[in-house]
Structure 1
Amino acid sequence: MLYEAKKVHFVGIGGIGISALAKLLSRRGAEVTGSDLMTSSVTRELEIEGKRVFIGHSAENVPTDCDLIIYSPAVPENNPERVVARERGVSEMSYPEALGELSREFRTIAVAGTNGKSTTTAMLGLILEEAGFDPTVVVGTKVPSFKHGNTRIGKGGSWLVVEACEYREHFLNLHPEFVVITNIEEDHLDYYRDLDHIREAFQKFVDQVPEIGRVIFNADDITCHSLIYKNCVSFGEHNGEYRAINRISGLGQQTFELWLDNNNLGNIVLQVPGNFNVMNAMAAAVTALVIGAPFGAVQAGLEKFFGVWRRFERVGSFRGADVFSDYGHHPTAIRGTLEAAREFFPGRRIILCFQPHQHERTKSLFNEFVEALAGADVLVLPEIFEVAGRTEDTDVSSRDLVEAIKEKFPVKEVFFASDLSDAEQMLNTIVQENDVLIVQGAGDVDELARGIVL
């Protein structure tokens, strides 16, 4: 169904993942249109590439000769474009279903995990490109090294590297030969009951890997280690067949040695900070080696990796401070980002403007957020971002986080902002020359980061 369609309409085309699929199908010859609730950098890029994008949802947006509707999981069944498509007998697929169909056409590597999926996917794509595998890559961020940003379109290669989302078990639509698991933690608790429920979903996922395939997993992660694998390869700093040893971090660069059992394979140089990026690089490197890439390509691909959109991305300066935008919205991601900032910018004041993402996540991981956020020198917390398409209780506020942090860490400078405009005004009075300002969250807080910089 996916490849037979000549005219495909995407509902929710502004999503970072679904827009990658739109670009891919367009390059394969399909006529692509789409709609989204609001204009964004993603919709503007699609329009620059010549695709027709409607802002707002209406039955009139759907072309009369449309063959297929692909919709974001956030788009409800009563969306007017989905309704008119059904009335006309047009086939529908969700984005995860479409990605699953795509994965049937390739030898697919699916990168999963609570944190690090996008970066690992991008790193692996660059390594395989360096090794001559000519992969197609679909990733939930923009990669400067990829011509099309959130996708790399191979010219006939048999490999697909795809970011696999665990939300609502979406990754079970995929048909991977290889699975990479970066880590497994509590998240998406508006759907999952608890960590055991999440573990069950990951177990189903790895059970889908065929006998000829492999699961590459983080052996330092307790939940990853608890899964039952048919065929697996492990990595880690402290555990695993492959290990990172002798990590050295300095200004703007870090290095480590990659060992397989008792053999030093060689040195790896990274241009991105943080211990979490060493783990991401290990996941990508080990996967590439398992499928036959030479170690030289691993080294070259990783050394050329300068980061991705909204993953500790430097976006400019503000009042003499370096400004970084980051997508992280889980306590583990916050901790990792702050640790990376302190490693790369020793002695400088770290200001974090963090917009919590989703009330249920904030409520379920409240204590973990309090501890993680306290790692910054100064905190500005805008109100929680409400996620489109999800109904949830709103009985928790960023103000509650501020009060809890102040109670536990009385000397900490912590401020509540009612919205992004309020946050910007606060930053105008707080930020000083030589500070490091991190603007973090999965909502619309990135607009603040890019709006204030020079």
Structure 2
Amino acid sequence: MDHPEYFKDLEAVKDSFKKFLIQAKQTVVANLSDPVVNQILSIHPKDVNTIIDYSKHLIDFTLQIPGEFNIMNASAAFQVGLILGIDPQATRQSLERFTGASRRFEYIGEYQGAKVYSDFGHHPTEIAKTMEAVREKFPKERILLIYQPHMFSRTKTLFNDFVKVFQKVPADKTYIIDIYPSREVDTELVSSHQLVKAIQKEIEPKFRNSEKVVPAIVYIGSKNQTLNKLKPEIRKGDIVFFMSAGDTDELAKELVRS
């Protein structure tokens, strides 16, 4: 789940989608491989006579944007195009030409031979899927992830999920910035420093007797300190990936300008 400032739990999220679904007419395009989606669709709106499971109709696209989740999204869009009577070839060509939305795996430029990207990801699932796509696109490059948690309530509610994700994130080094408050006030509910400590506590025992390199997770402090600490770490050929729904996009652009 997400947006804990609005939804107290997953059931509240499901209820919201059910209210939306009741308004549907004729056709619903959904991913029935997801058990939660299946539960939501169990209400089966009376005006809906067709449910299309796009997870069973994945299209063999050659997309400009990486990630299995983008194949899923494109397949859903393709099914909607068929429903609307759009020429399938035109839909395919449009999807295959699409280079991505702003702040979604967005290429910003270069800094001393390193490629710099910005992404809006801020939920544990988003982080995991996006970073899998980054590693898929750059299998041999060194990846530096700079992550800024977004909102204290989200970080607190999903704290354990963040810890699990960052234990496995396929980055060579991860830097975590102080939480971006957005519309919230810092009441010392949770901090990025606490998050990094929790991640490190889980990682260290697992690698104690292993020959593998322990994943590097670093607390970097405030946004204003980030670039000064980051620049000496960057090497030619690196992938520098800024991720947050906060203001790390500004950092990515400032890095490229410098």
Task: Flag whether TM exceeds 0.5 (same fold).
Answer: yes
Q: Distance in 2 between matches of 1:281 and 1:392?
A: 39
| Pair 1:223 & 2:36 matched | yes
> Does the 8 A contact of 1:269 with 1:299 survive in 2?
no
1:406 pairs, out of 200, 203, 210, with 200
Kindly provide the amino acid, as one letter, of the partner of residue 450 in structure 1.
Answer: K
Match of 1:289 in 2: 82
> Does the 8 A contact of 1:359 with 1:396 survive in 2?
yes
More helix by share: 2
| Pair 1:371 & 2:164 matched | yes
| Pair 1:203 & 2:18 matched | yes
Superposed CA RMSD in Å reads 1.5
> After the TM superposition, which residues 238-387 of structure 1 pair with which residues of structure 2 at under 5 Å, given as runs?
240=56, 242=57, 244=58, 258=59, 267-374=60-167, 375=169, 376-387=171-182
SS in 2 for 1:197: helix
Aligned length: 240
Q: Distance in 2 between matches of 1:316 and 1:399?
A: 30
Q: Runs of 5+ in structure 1 lacking a partner?
A: 1-185, 245-257, 259-266
Kindly provide the amino acid, as one letter, of the partner of residue 153 in structure 2.
Answer: E
What is the CA-CA distance between 1:391 and the residue it aligns to?
5.5
Match of 1:18 in 2: none
Compared CA separation, residues 362 and 435, structure 1 to 2 (3 A): same
SS in 1 for 2:250: helix
> Structure 1 length as normaliser, TM-score?
0.51
> Does the 8 A contact of 1:215 with 1:229 survive in 2?
no
Q: Distance in 2 between matches of 1:317 and 1:336?
A: 24
Higher relative CO (Cα under 8 Å, sequence separation at least 6) belongs to: 2
> Structure 2 length as normaliser, TM-score?
0.88
Match of 1:444 in 2: 247
Q: Distance in 2 between matches of 1:196 and 1:221?
A: 15
CA offsets 1:152-203 (integer angstroms, 9 cap, x no match): xxxxxxxxxxxxxxxxxxxxxxxxxxxxxxxxxx101122111111101100
Q: Runs of 5+ in structure 2 lacking a partner?
A: 205-213
Taking only the aligned residue pairs, the percentage that are identical comes to 37
| Pair 1:423 & 2:238 matched | no
